[in-house]
Amino acid sequence: MVLPPVAVVAVFIGFPVGAAIAYTLGKTGGPNSTVALFAQRQHVAKHGVTFAAYREVLGNAHVRGDLWATVWVTLVTIAVVVLLSWTIGLYVRLSDTRIARTVSALSVVPLFIPVVIASYAILTFYAAQGFIKTLAYHVGWHSFPTLGYTLWAVVIGEIWVNVPFGVLMMTSGLNSVPNALIEAARDSGASLPRTVRSVLLPMNVIPTVIVATFTGIYVLGSFTVPYLTGPSAPNLMGVSMAQFFSSFNQPQQAEVMAMIVFALAAGIGTIYVWANMRAAKRSSVTS
Amino acid sequence: MSAVDGQGVALGGLEHAGLPVARARRGRRPTVRSVTLRALGVFVVVVLLLFMIGPILWLALRAFSGLWQYPQFLPSHWTLKWWSSVFADRSLGHSIQLSFEFAPVVTFASAAICLPAAYAFSRFNFPGRRVLLVSLFATNAFPKIGLYISMAGVFYSLNLMGTFLGVVIVQLIGTIVFMTWIPTAAFSAIPRSLEEAARDVGAGPLRVFFRVTFPLAAPGIFVAMILTFLASFDEAQGTFLVGIPNYITMPTEMYTLVLNYPEQAAAVFSILLAIPSVILMSLARKHVMGGKLAEGFQIR
């Protein structure tokens, strides 16, 4: 019964990724033979493997610019999304006012909106004639920068898209901490920040790690948000990858970029799996 | 919020930052502290409103604007002509139809592949169970666009480029985790004693499944199916890479619209594309907020 999904993953993820690794190392036979027919500027290994494709891609200053832009946007997005999810989650957990409920309802709005539309909406909102510029104009700040088509717009878009998942995870994590624990800490004189630090934070490491890793991997693999809201260069790797593949007819170079992004994500994914395994071990001991 | 009411918790701070269950706020006089906190809360709501809803409203206005000059907050002339021009456009209509073909196919294919596995993961403890469950995470561990590029490279040899099946596979890949993990959590939440009780009074295994297990797990399965439908319906980047030029769905059409059509037409199309998402998510909202999604992501 468990075979079908595992087989789908093996055939349509394991196999293509394996073939892509071989292709980036100069192996143009087997499953790569069709794509190799029309590929431009291909590096082929006569025997063994060649790293020529990697050398070419990493030697390209534009690609290096994209790589730094990707790392930068990913880190900033993770930081802001974790911070925002914790703040909103804590507020909802500790306060039962109408304001808190409004905040939690607002923060999940992006779930209802397709990413393509969100990206386009964010672009027009922060564009040269968008709402933010209009607002700045009316309060007299005429030199307010245009954020549309800059990496800032990409960061804003990525945050917008990732906040609901973060808030849902943190709210659920924080709600699983019993009231009695928080009250006990407060009654014995702990301030609120102290309670957060010594009770809520240690009990919510896993949800936090999940939010950070999923956000990071999402940003690394995103195309729509940077394509629609970002600058032409440097932009995120996802955009240049698709360009090299479809527009420049250089699938090998595109797949090299994919491997670079995979390597970045592998680091993040390892943390996630490790944290989950650790949590599972701990809960199997206690319960 | 939490940083604000640091020290003086003993006095007024608890009223707002305090625990909802612990202290009643009613009947107390407002203090400077509680008023400040309240004002801060309202400020946060306004900023969040602007950040979250602002772009959507700004785009929606555009769909009805005839003339809108910077720096005006609203269009100076309103019109509905963009709506009729979008409805009259053949290729746009075709992409709408395509989206409604792919999404149900992907949803049912994904359910057929994943639901039996979800049941097995929750009910049987077999060797390698954890490893297999975690291995499905491979679909989410690879950054999406990189994965699609790798898939597309091989799809040429498999004759899947530009085919219906190719697009279905690309869209399906992203839904396997929802469709397995969320129903697994839903099945696991059902106490085995309920099933055993039904069996004790003489129900066969199939009857137990359809009368006891399935109805109890249905909300989780329902959420997984809605999320899958929407994931397929909204998927643009993989479909763009693999489906072009034969299969251009609604979200993929947006890429071209944004570049080649007037802004107002793109706005109209955006509203149309958002309608199914808003309706379906509203149906699933209660369960998603209730933690079904979060539960599914903690491997057990």
Quickly list DSSP for B125-190: --TTHHHHHHHTTHHHHS-HHHHHHHHHHHHTTTT-TTSHHHHHHHHHHTTHHHHHHHHHHHHHTS
Residue with tokens 């808030």: A167
- A42: distance to nearest CA of chain B, Å? 14
What's residue A283's pLDDT? Answer: 65
Q: What is the CA radius of gyration of chain B?
A: 25
Rounded CA gap, A114 and B270, in Å? 9
For B264-292, what is each residue's pLDDT tens digit?
889 998 998 889 888 988 888 777 766 65
Among the partner-chain residues A102, A113, A224, the one whose CB lies closest to the CB of B237 is: A224
In A, residues 33-92, which contact B (CB 8 Å cutoff)? 33-35, 87, 90-91
What's residue A159's pLDDT? Answer: 96
pLDDT band (50, 70, 90) for residue B136: confident
Residues of chain A with Cβ-Cβ distance to B145 below 8 Å are 221-223, 238, 241-242, 258, 261
| Of B189, B277, B160, B50, the residue nearest A121 (C-alpha) | B50
Q: What is the pTM of this model?
A: 0.87
Among the partner-chain residues A8, A168, A242, the one whose CB lies closest to the CB of B294 is: A168
What's residue A62's pLDDT? Answer: 94
DSSP-assigned beta bridge partners for residue B22: none
Question: How far is residue A108 CA from its own chain's centroid?
Answer: 17
What's residue A182's pLDDT? Answer: 87
For B42-100, what is each residue's pLDDT tens digit?
888 888 889 999 999 999 999 998 888 888 888 888 988 889 888 888 888 888 899 99
What's residue B291's pLDDT? Answer: 61
Q: Which residues contact B257 (CB under 8 A, 6 or more apart)?
A: B92, B265, B266, B269
* Mean pLDDT, residues B184-202 taken together: 88
Among the partner-chain residues A32, A102, A115, the one whose CB lies closest to the CB of B153 is: A32
- At B67 the three-state DSSP class reads strand
- A51: distance to nearest CA of chain B, Å? 18
Q: Is the Cβ–Cβ distance between A13 and B147 less than 8 Å? A: yes
* Helix (H) / strand (E) containing A135: helix A131-138
What's residue A155's pLDDT? Answer: 97
Strand duo B77-78 + B65-67: pairing = antiparallel
Verify whether the Cβ–Cβ distance A23 to B244 is below 8 Å: no
Domain boundaries, chain B: 2-79, 90-296
* Mean pLDDT, residues B194-203 taken together: 88
What's residue B21's pLDDT? Answer: 43
Rounded CA gap, A29 and A9, in Å? 23
- A116: distance to nearest CA of chain B, Å? 6
B10 vs B244, higher pLDDT = B244
What's residue B182's pLDDT? Answer: 86
- B58: distance to nearest CA of chain A, Å? 6
Q: Is the Cβ–Cβ distance between A2 and B132 less than 8 Å? A: yes
CA geometry: angle B152, B231, A167, nearest 5 deg: 120
Among the partner-chain residues B59, B144, B277, the one whose CB lies closest to the CB of A121 is: B59
CA geometry: angle A14, A18, A23, nearest 5 deg: 150
* Helix (H) / strand (E) containing B226: helix B214-234
CA geometry: angle A208, A214, A217, nearest 5 deg: 135
Nearest CA in chain A to B16: A95
- What share of chain B has pLDDT > 90, as a percent? 31
Helix residue spans in A221-250 (DSSP H)? 224-229, 237-242
A149 vs B36, higher pLDDT = A149
Rounded CA gap, B136 and B299, in Å? 11
Residues of chain A with Cβ-Cβ distance to B157 below 8 Å are 30-35
Amino acid symbol at B169: I
Interchain contact A184–B (C-beta under 8 A) = no
Nearest CA in chain B to A166: B294
B159 vs B125, higher pLDDT = B159
Among the partner-chain residues B17, B153, B298, the one whose CB lies closest to the CB of A206 is: B298
What's residue B297's pLDDT? Answer: 60
Low-confidence ranges of chain A (pLDDT < 70): 283-287
Using CB atoms within 10 Å of the CB of residue B14, give its burial: 0 to 12 exposed, 13 to 18 middle, 19+ buried. Answer: buried
- At A275 the three-state DSSP class reads helix
Residue B8 scores a pLDDT above 90: no
Class of domain B90-296 as given by CATH: mainly alpha
DSSP-assigned beta bridge partners for residue B78: B65
Interchain contact A221–B (C-beta under 8 A) = yes
Residue A107, both tokens: 């923060």
Q: Is the Cβ–Cβ distance between A145 and A130 less than 8 Å? A: no
**Cβ neighbours around B20 below 10 Å, total:** 15
Residues of chain A with Cβ-Cβ distance to B2 below 8 Å are 87, 90-91, 94, 192-193, 196
Residue with tokens 């992409």: B95
Residue B9 scores a pLDDT above 50: no
In A, residues 81-140, which contact B (CB 8 Å cutoff)? 87, 90-91, 94-97, 99-100, 102-103, 106-118, 120-122, 124-126, 128-131, 133-134, 137-138
Helix residue spans in A25-114 (DSSP H)? 33-38, 52-59, 61-94, 98-107
Nearest CA in chain B to A271: B141
**Is the bond preceding residue A234 a cis peptide, omega within 30 degrees?**
yes
- At B68 the three-state DSSP class reads coil
Verify whether the Cβ–Cβ distance B143 to A99 is below 8 Å: no
